[in-house]
Amino acid sequence: MKLFEEIPYLENEYIAIRRITEDDIEALKELTENDKVYRYLPTFLFEKQFDDLYEMLNKLYGEYFETKESIILGINLKEEDYMCGIAEFYGFKDHIHKVSIGYRLLERYWGKGIASSAVSLMLKYLLEKTDIEIITASTMVENLASAHVLEKNGFVKVVAASTEDWGYDKLTIVDKWIY
């Protein structure tokens, strides 16, 4: 199957990664309003571009999905049935079977193994259900927690401390990872 043929639903015994709905707006608001969550992320992320999160949600699975920009899904901790973060497939290059992955979690869910579980589920989906062969990720050099999550899930750092435009005043120093 090709990525973007469907909006995936992924789950294990701990979390579910699924379409974001209007029921998730409060969690999405909590996420997007926390500067600590976004301190190691690009400034131009889709969910940060809208004052009206309902408008964002309408575009997320409409034009944004149709143009194959990104698939953004909610991460739910099953025991709480509350969206605790976002999982994203982005940078899709169909002709070389490549995509990048990323995630962001509500601060109160940091350090609970959710990120690692989400990355593991995303990898399993991409490798077992789609024709994706190359999976990459990028992290700011200072983001040691995300670097650890990627290493734990089998990613290898292939470029250290390169510069990219992440929307800040200066170029951002990032590490590039491949699975």
In a domain, 152, yes or no: no
Domain count, the chain: 1
> Is 40 within 8 Å of 139 (Cβ atoms)?
yes
Q: What is the reported pLDDT for 145?
A: 96
Other CB atoms within 10 Å distance of the CB of residue 25: 15
Which domain does 70 fall in, by range?
10-135
CATH code for the domain of 87? 3.40.630.30
Question: What percent of the chain has a predicted confidence (pLDDT) above 70?
Answer: 100
DSSP strand pairing (134-140 vs 98-105): parallel
In a domain, 58, yes or no: yes
Q: What is the reported pLDDT for 179?
A: 97
Work out the mean pLDDT of the chain and round it to a whole number. 94
> Is 99 within 8 Å of 126 (Cβ atoms)?
yes
In a domain, 72, yes or no: yes
In a domain, 70, yes or no: yes
In a domain, 57, yes or no: yes
In this prediction, residue 162 has a pLDDT band, given cuts at 50, 70 and 90, of very high
Candidates 46, 53, 49, 14; CA nearest to 30 is 53
In a domain, 51, yes or no: yes
> Is 90 within 8 Å of 102 (Cβ atoms)?
yes
Q: What is the reported pLDDT for 43?
A: 84
pLDDT tens digits, residue range 43-96?
A: 888 888 888 999 989 889 888 888 898 999 999 999 888 899 999 999 999 999
In a domain, 99, yes or no: yes
Query: What DSSP string describes the chain?
Result: --TTSS---EE-SSEEEE---GGGHHHHHHHHT-TTTTTTS-TT-GGGS-S-HHHHHHHHTTHHHHTTSEEEEEEEETTTTEEEEEEEEEEEEGGGTEEEEEEEE-GGGTTSSHHHHHHHHHHHHHHHHS---EEEEEEETT-HHHHHHHHHTT-EEEEEEEEE--SSSSPEEEEEEE-
In a domain, 120, yes or no: yes
